[in-house]
Chains A and B, each alone.
Chain A
């Protein structure tokens, strides 16, 4: 934990003000980026097919929303993503705890797990396509795969590094195996699980977009890919922007709450924002 400096009573208010001004600066940065894009359009001087202007992209976005395409695609992508993430993480945690409890099994399996994680999910997509065809099964499987291995591996590490002294202490107080798991093993494996989920979630998000480019007929990845294929480049950029916003939303409303509810509450780590 970082040492805390005693703050005067008004610290709360100034911190909010400081946060507020930081957010304003961030907005200014985004606006600056948009301005640079707008200014660059006449400098590049190419057609909207080659280099669309912000106005083209706004028109395309309005069109996509009005036709009802964007909401459907967004819901499809989010559904696939959360399904894959939840199943992959659930399997990874369950198996990680199960395997981690046995030292020999854990030692035997970790090289294989490392190797499987090294065969990146992207490389599995061709064989998934051969096995399951183009469609949702291929996409969700690729997502489960990419989340499963880091969660499993990190859970395993967490279980293995649970302090033996605590296990002994709880045992000597009369705890059974299940209580040892609940009281010692799971809490000490928690940071590992969340780390694994973080790693997997980031890769899985790119994996989702790629899988949708290759194997879907809806979704944000498909929008990005199909826009360029059908010479509606502005749609591709709408897709990219929605993708970025979607990731920020997932980070803010899904991953961070999980971290807050688990690791931070138990005081196991401090997030980067607080450290600076």
Chain B
């Protein structure tokens, strides 16, 4: 069953490759519009051998990691602190949802003024994207813990750290993880987009730079790598996180 499913799933990919191979044999178009499979494979080999592809991938991933680490390290504690008091949470929620709406790529022109082209701009944009997406979700997560549970823990003498580890963190965890996941999806887009405008290397820079020279094989390879990397990250990192935490604690049934 599983094998059959896998084979079935491979069919459309094979069909696309076949169509890609056939197209230049059926229709006339300038070579730069769509490079042949061979050109893309050659470029992939070349950029793998000289290490330029790996350098771009690592540069992008490193920025994502640094930006995400900064964003999450600020957002989760601050989100919990805000949400612990219902009034404070009510005060900040609309402002946070507004800032979440403009988080990310819209900051690039400002960050270019502030930090110039390069790492500073891109990392700021990622941290900013991830910060606002996950702080909003953290606040909502803590606020959605039923009041009855709050009172139950309190009436058993739960205070301070005990309240945090026994009630707040597990209670808000699902929403926080959901926020991290969503914010990473936004962060990944923000990474590629901001590298296109304000990067000096990385996958986004690589693909946008290729437009000027009409090197479509670079663009297509970049797109494939972007797609594969995101699928790997989504599968490897997030599925594991969810299994380790949410499912084990029985907070969410699958």
Contact = CB atoms under 8 A, between A and B. Distances in A.
A209 B189 CA distance: 12
Given A114-B231, A120-B188, A126-B211, A209 B5 contact: no
A233 B178 CA distance: 35
Interface range on chain A (Cβ under 8 Å from partner): 35 or more
A260 to B, nearest CB: 18
A107 interface: yes
Contacts of B74: none
B222 interface: yes
9 contacts: A108-B8, A112-B13, A119-B230, A120-B189, A122-B189, A206-B193, A213-B105, A221-B106, A228-B112
Interface string A120-142: 11111111011100000000000
A109 B91 contact: no
A193 B97 CA distance: 24
Nearest to B216: A130
B91 A120 contact: no
Interface in A209-238: 209-210, 213-214, 221, 224-225, 227-229, 233, 236-237
Contact of B223 (A127, A227, A241): A127
A203 interface: yes
Nearest to B97: A248
Interface stretch (B50-58, B165-173, B202-210): B202-210
Given A29-B92, A122-B204, 5 more contacts: A25-B91, A118-B231, A129-B211, A130-B211, A213-B109
Contacts of A214: 196-197, 208
B90 A22 contact: yes
Contacts of A110: 9
B114 A244 contact: no
B109 A225 contact: yes
A158 to B, nearest CB: 17
Given A104-B8, A122-B196, A248-B98, A206 B105 contact: yes
Given A26-B90, A123-B222, A248-B97, A118 B144 contact: no
Contacts, number: 165
B223 A108 contact: no
A276 B147 CA distance: 10
A209 B105 CA distance: 8
A112 B8 CA distance: 11
Interface residues of B, number: 62
- SS class, residues of chain B in contact with chain A: helix
B223 A123 contact: yes
Given A112-B13, A118-B231, A123 B95 contact: no
Contacts of A114: 231
A39 interface: no
Nearest to B192: A122
Interface in A237-258: 237, 239-241, 243-245, 247-248
Given A126-B211, A214-B196, A112 B110 contact: no
Contact of A126 (B5, B185, B207): B207
B240 interface: no
Interface string B86-102: 01001111110111011
A118 B185 CA distance: 9
B33 A126 contact: no
B32 interface: yes
Given A30-B98, A225-B109, A243-B102, A276 B93 contact: no
- SS class, residues of chain A in contact with chain B: helix
Interface string B206-247: 011011001010011011101110110010000000000000
Contacts of B5: 107
A75 interface: no
Contacts of B110: 228, 233, 236-237, 240
Interface in A169-210: 202-203, 205-207, 209-210
Nearest to A146: B189
Top-5 shortest CB links A-B: A228-B109, A26-B94, A111-B9, A119-B227, A247-B101
Contacts of B76: none
A206 B186 contact: yes
A31 B193 CA distance: 31
A115 interface: yes
B140 interface: yes
A261 B48 CA distance: 52
Contacts of B64: none
A30 B8 contact: no
B188 A30 contact: no
A239 B207 contact: no
B179 interface: no
A116 B93 CA distance: 34
B250 interface: no
